[in-house]
Amino acid sequence: MKAGKIIVLLVIAALVASFFVFDLNQYFSLEGIKAQQQALNAQVSANPWLAGGLFFGLYILVTALSLPGAALLTLLGGALFGLGWGLLIVSFASTLGATLAMLISRFLLRDWVQARFGSRLKAINEGVEREGAFYLFALRLVPAFPFFLINLAMGLTRIKVGTYWWVSQVGMLPGTLVYVNAGRQLAELESLGGILSPDLLGAFVLLGLFPLIARKGLDMVKARRVYKGWNKPAHFDRNLVVIGAGSGGLVSAYIAAAVKANVSLIEKHAMGGDCLNTGCVPSKALIRSAKLAAEINRAHALGYNEASASVNFTRVMDRIQRVVGDIESHDSVERYTELGVEVHKGAATITSPWEVEVNGQTLTTRNIIIAAGARPFMPPIPGLDKANAYNSDTLWGLREQPKRLLILGGGPIGCELAQAFQRLGSQVIQVERDVRLLSKEDPDAAELIMNTLRAEGVDLRLQHDAERFEQVDGQEQLITRNLKTDEEVIIPFDAVLVAVGRKANTDGYGIEKLELVKRGNGTLETNEYLATRYPNIYAVGDVTGPYQFTHVSAHQAWYAAVNALFGTFKRFKVDYRVIPRVTFTDPEVASVGLTEQDAKDTEVKYEVTRYNIDDLDRAIADQVAEGYVKVLTVPGKDTILGVTIVAAHGGELLAEYVLAMKHKLGLNKILGTIHTYPTMSEANKFAAGEWKRAHQPEKLLQWVARFHRWRLGS
Ligand X SMILES: Cc1cc2nc3c(=O)[nH]c(=O)nc-3n(C[C@H](O)[C@H](O)[C@H](O)COP(=O)(O)OP(=O)(O)OC[C@H]3O[C@@H](n4cnc5c(N)ncnc54)[C@H](O)[C@@H]3O)c2cc1C
Cβ–Cβ < 8 Å for 179, 71: yes
Q: Could you tell me the smallest distance in angstroms from the CB atom of residue 61 to ligand X?
A: 57
Tell me which stretch binds ligand X (CB under 6 A): 266-274, 290-298, 325-333, 693-701.
266-274
Stretch of 159-167, 274-282, 317-325, 676-684 lying at the interface with ligand X (CB under 6 A): 274-282
**Residue 51 makes contact with ligand X by CB under 6 A:** no
Nearest distance in Å: CB 295, ligand X: 21
Residue 147 beta carbon to ligand X: minimum distance, rounded to whole angstroms: 48
267 versus 441: smaller Cβ distance to ligand X: 267
Instruction: Give the nearest distance from C-beta 259 to ligand X in angstroms.
Output: 20
Cβ 344 to ligand X shortest distance, Å: 8
**SS in 3 state form for 377-419?**
CCCCCCCHHHCCEECCCCHHHCCCCCCEEEEECCCHHHHHHHH
* Nearer residue to ligand X within complex by CB, 200 or 574: 574
Rounded CA separation 294/291 (Å): 5
Which is nearer to ligand X, 99 or 548 (by Cβ)? 548
Cα 621 to Cα 617: distance, rounded to the nearest angstrom: 6
Query: Rounded to the nearest whole angstrom, what is the least distance from the CB of residue 348 to ligand X in the complex?
Result: 4
E strand map for 236-352: 238-243, 263-267, 342-345, 348-352
Q: Measured from the CB atom, is 157 or 247 closer to ligand X?
A: 247
Q: Is 225 helix (H, G, I), strand (E, B) or coil?
A: helix
- Pair 582, 650: CB distance under 8 Å: yes
Residue 665 φ/ψ, nearest 5 degrees: -95, 135
- Span near ligand X by CB under 6 A; candidates 264-272, 313-321, 403-411, 570-578: 264-272
Nearer to ligand X, 169 or 278 (CB): 278
CA torsion, points 75, 76, 82, 83, in degrees to nearest 10?
Answer: -30
Q: In the complex, what is the shortest distance from the CB of residue 285 to ligand X, in angstroms, rounded to a whole number?
A: 11
- Does 347 help bind ligand X (rule: CB under 6 A)? yes
CB-CB neighbours of 413 under 10 Å: 24
Give the nearer residue to ligand X in terms of CB position, either 169 or 563: 563
Contacts of 575 (CB under 8 A, 6+ apart): 559
Contacts 24+ apart (CB under 8 A), 118-123: 118/594, 118/599, 118/602, 118/604, 118/605, 118/606, 118/634, 118/641, 119/577, 119/593, 119/594, 119/604, 119/641, 119/642, 120/577, 121/604, 122/602, 123/577
245 binds ligand X (CB under 6 A): yes
Fill in the DSSP letter of residue 525.
Answer: P
- From the number of C-beta atoms within 10 Å of its C-beta (0-12, 13-18, 19+), residue 702 rates as exposed
d(CA 52, CA 57): 9
Q: How far is the CB of 274 from ligand X (least distance, A)?
A: 3
Q: Which residues pair with 63 in a beta bridge?
A: none
Q: At what angle do helices 161-171 and 70-141 cross, to 10 degrees?
A: 110
Extended strands (E) in 187-322: 238-243, 263-267
Query: Does 244 participate in binding ligand X (rule CB under 6 A)?
Result: yes
d(CA 35, CA 250): 77
Select 337 or 623, whichever has its Cβ closest to ligand X. 337
Residue from 51, 89, 261, 267 binding ligand X (CB under 6 A):
267
Q: Which of residues 399-418 bind ligand X (CB under 6 A)?
A: 413
Q: CB-wise, 33 or 578, nearer to ligand X? A: 578
The contacts of residue 694 (CB under 8 Å, 6+ apart) are 607, 609
- Tell me the number of residues near ligand X by CB under 6 A: 35
Interface with ligand X (CB under 6 A), residue from 124, 142, 280, 333: 280
* Piece in contact with ligand X (CB under 6 A), picked from 68-76, 81-89, 239-247, 609-617: 239-247
Single out the residue of 78, 248, 402, 587 in contact with ligand X (rule: CB under 6 A).
Answer: 248
CA dist., res. 237 & res. 704, Å (int): 74
Q: Which of residues 493-512 bind ligand X (CB under 6 A)?
A: 505, 509
Q: Report the residue from 249, 353, 535, 545 that binds ligand X according to the rule CB under 6 A.
A: 249
Confirm or reject binding of residue 269 to ligand X (CB under 6 A). Answer: yes
Is 592 an interacting residue with respect to ligand X (CB under 6 A)? no
Q: Which is nearer to ligand X, 66 or 550 (CB)?
A: 550
Instruction: State which residue, 452 or 550, has the beta carbon closest to ligand X.
Output: 550
C-alpha to C-alpha distance for 192 and 267, rounded to whole angstroms: 69
Q: Three-state secondary structure along 74-128?
A: HHHHHHHHHHHHHHHHHHHHHHHHHHHHHHHHHHHHHHHHHHHHHHHHHHHHHHH
Kindly indicate which of the ranges 160-168, 245-253, 483-491, 632-640 contains the residues binding ligand X, using the contact rule CB under 6 A: 245-253
Residue 283 interacts with ligand X (CB under 6 A): yes or no: yes
Taking CB under 6 A as the rule, which mask of x and - marks residues 363-382 in contact with ligand X?
--------xxx---------
Beta partners for residue 243, in sequence order? 266, 370
Torsion, Cα of 56, 57, 60, 65 (10° steps): -150
Verify binding: residue 589, ligand X, rule CB under 6 A. no
Which residue number, 269 or 571, has a Cβ lying nearer to ligand X? Answer: 269
Which x/- pattern, by CB under 6 A, does the window 526-565 give for ligand X?
---------------xxx----xxxx-x------------
Smallest separation, CB 435 to ligand X (Å): 24
Least distance in angstroms from the C-beta of 282 to ligand X: 7
> How far, CA to CA in Å, does 590 sit from each of 526, 580, 663?
28, 7, 19
**Considering the rule CB under 6 A, would residue 426 count as an interface residue with ligand X?**
no
Q: Is 66 in the site for ligand X (CB under 6 A)?
A: no
Contact region for ligand X (CB under 6 A) — 279-287, 290-298, 396-404, 462-470?
279-287
Q: Does residue number 247 form part of the binding site for ligand X (CB under 6 A)? A: yes
Among 52, 143, 183, 246, binds ligand X (CB under 6 A): 246
d(CA 488, CA 479): 7
274 part of the interface to ligand X, by CB under 6 A: yes
End-to-end CA distance of the chain: 42
d(CA 397, CA 317): 8
Please give the residues from 82 up to 101 whose contact with ligand X meets the rule CB under 6 A. Answer: none
Tell me whether residue 300 or residue 519 sits nearer to ligand X (CB atom): 519
Q: Residue 532 Cβ, how far from ligand X at the closest point, in Å?
A: 15
**Which helix (H) or strand (E) is 155 found in, with range?**
helix 147-155
Decide: 364 and 237 in contact? Cβ < 8 Å.
Answer: yes
Q: Are strands 263-267 and 342-345 parallel, antiparallel or unpaired?
A: parallel
Indicate whether 263 belongs to the interface with ligand X (CB under 6 A): no
Instruction: Return residues touching ligand X (CB under 6 A).
Output: 243-249, 266-269, 273-275, 279-280, 283, 347-348, 371-373, 392, 413, 505, 509, 541-543, 548-551, 553, 584
